[in-house]
A and B are shown apart, each in its own frame.
Chain A
Amino acid sequence: MADRYLILEDGSVYLGEGFGSPAVSTGEIVFNTSMTGYQEIITNQIYHNQIIAFTQPTIGSYGINHDSYESILPTVKGVVVRDVASISTNRQRRWSLDQYLKQQNIPGISHIDTRHLAKQLRASGPMKASIVDVADAHAFDQLGATVLTNQQVAAVATPKPFPNPGTGLNVVVVDFGLKHGILRELSKRRCNVTVLPYTATTEEIINLDPDGVVLSTGPGKPQDLPASVLTMIQNIQNRIPLFAIGLGHELFAMANGAQIMKLAPEHHGANHPIREVITNQIIYASQGQGFVVDPDTVDRDKLITTFVDLIDGTIQGLRFRDFPAFSVQFFPDGAPGPIEARDVFDEFVESMQQARGPVW
């Protein structure tokens, strides 16, 4: 394995060993504290154009299997680990992480002091980084000159509607770069799903006569999306049961007057206890958020805070007071991570059933 370097915008250099693709790449670096689930994390579109540093020391020990993709193709810019497992023995494994990253043309770098890196990123917040062969002035010039896109949603969301047929309730999913877990959980509940691009208008949604609407997860900053998205949410939320996740949650909050701010340190992992306010029950769920709803801007006459993060008190869920429209910041689909938050999908299905009335 060849020596490679991870260089950061602030001038730091980490010497490591390359694996995966030998490509040079640049993206925003974030660290993820999940102990398992690297395949789901790498394929989650919320990490579009980002380099993921895993704090769990060994990554790759169960390879890559065909059950755990969260998108068809990964769009991360790099994978940073302490140690990449050279042997993976899971019976479902098809490829090693190294083979998979080679296939997908994604560079990886191992032998990085990820504990030091995570501490640094906790203090600084995410920044631009590159995985390069030579850490010279030229490489830093290139890194400094790179402008990262703010059109991540447009890059990963579906450009065209597509169906995911089922025999149950009719659900429209508005795609901001969804993870497959959302469709998987709706499929388990037999929903008949139509996925629409994030540019879908109120009419396009209403014309499909859905029993409920889901606003999906996605990458990037919610303020970078066109204001028409907020108008659509305002028009839909009082007519059809609405369930928003991740980026969708941030947009739902914005559509109802709340402000979104940068979160420091960001939440990427599955180890934050989250309290469901109404029952005082504690759950764990995987999170991937760089932004958060500013609690001071939430109109209490309009929205109820339903979930709270117990580590830093951030809002993890909201609900409209006057109609069944609710949202969660975390990923309730349990792919990867704890499955106890999947209940929220049942809550959504039951809200739709109730809004539709009994079937007899």
Chain B
Amino acid sequence: MAAYFLRRVLQIIPTIFGVSVLAFLFVHAIPGNPAIFLAGPNASTATIHALTVQFGLDKPLAVQYWYFLINAVHGDFGKSLGDGQPVLRIIGYHFMPTVELAFFGLGLAVVIGILAGIASAVRRNTSLDYTVMTLSMMGVSFPAFWLAMMLIALFAVHFHLLPSGGDQGWKSFILPVISLGTSGAASIARFTRQSMVTTLTSDYVRTGRAKGLRESILIFKHAFKNALGPIITIIGIQFGFLLGGAVVVEVVYAWPGLGNLLITSVEMRNYPVIQTLLLLFALEFILASLLVDVAYALVNPRVRYD
């Protein structure tokens, strides 16, 4: 297991390297001299020149990348345009609200998705199964931002039950978490059902049933445990979607998180912040994939020998 883990960690190093190159090139892909927008709209020629020298923008790209990497490793991602604060500090302000939102959103998606998927697989081809599958098909097709708006119209405006935005107490979590978790829950339900149908119709479950095992033990201990591999994989993929979905959902609910920060930064052309956020989101996604692979290996020892 340790060897597998180590190999998997080593495998992501080239990907992280590539992602950092892409994030680095991001600023250079914008037409014009990066120093001009690093300096901000009202900067003097002298400031621009100073920045050019400071960031080594007159040096070859490879050298510039090296500086970028060294600074990044030391936690220096440059300064935000406008207020001149370190990028990392600004991201720090917005980090926790997004983590909380993503945590509860993913939690909701996993719990509802797995339970609905198991129920659907166990009661295969009944009206319960059809209902769950229809709802899950609708769930993956909702634009998250529109679902968010409709929930506000219904629960905040019409019934006055829940706040329509902001981050003030547990009540303000409910609507954003539902908006964020719905499509994940739907996806996970579909994959859980598919995976469970395969294991429930397998020989070992039939044998277990023949020898008189209780149905609940069959479902959870035998069928579900073996169906877990693909389910874990889809949960990992959903995490990526969740990070993306968080952006639009945060905008609708005026949530003080990274998604809102990203949108404001794009509108203000605050490139150092955009660059760091892209890098951060990609790293989170890569880390999530790593965790998924390790979890997969834990539940399915066969993959470790590949």
The answer to whether A binds B is no
Residues of A bordering B, CB below 8 Å? none
Residues of B bordering A, CB below 8 Å? none
